[in-house]
Structure 1
Amino acid sequence: MKLLRKADEMERYQSDKSARNAFVFFTVALLAWSLTNFFTVGKTGWEFTILLGGNVVFFGSRVFYKRKMQ
């Protein structure tokens, strides 16, 4: 049985880069979907709400952890 262990510096770096790339991808994909719906249907759907919620969580948690580290 493999036990969980703390990630080393290289694994944390790789995870951070991967998370950033995924965040950028989902942000661009949801923004493109929202703009497509806005220009074709005339309104944004749930994808725009998900985009805004995800950005609030991301940037809110960055502020929280930055203040926690000080």
Structure 2
Amino acid sequence: MRFQKADEMEKYQSDQSAKNGFIFYTISLLIWSLYDLFIKGNSGWQFTILLFGNAVYFWSRLIFNRKMNT
């Protein structure tokens, strides 16, 4: 099995898939944590995971943008 460098179409498809997956997990964790907040009175670990996931996403995006602009 040989790995080839991805062309522009494969990179685009991979980026779109990652974006859709990120949006799905973000919305799912947000709904789950809001449900637990209203039913149980605490947001649970799902909200913490949501915050860390978003922090990692936006921090890495900031770093990559700075690398591209310098």
TM-score when scaled to structure 2? 0.96
Structure 2: which 5+ runs fail to align? none
How far apart are residue 5 of structure 1 and its match? Answer: 1.4
Q: What's the CA shift string for 1:37-67, capped at 9, x where partnerless? A: 0000001111000000000000110000000
**Letter aligned with residue 42 of structure 1:** G
Structure 1: which 5+ runs fail to align? none
RMSD over equivalenced CA pairs, Å = 0.5
Of all paired residues, the percent bearing the same amino acid is: 57
Count of residue pairs brought into register by the alignment: 69
How far apart are residue 4 of structure 1 and its match? Answer: 1.4
What secondary structure sits across from 1:6 in the alignment?
coil
List structure 1 runs of 4+ shifted beyond 3 angstroms. Answer: none
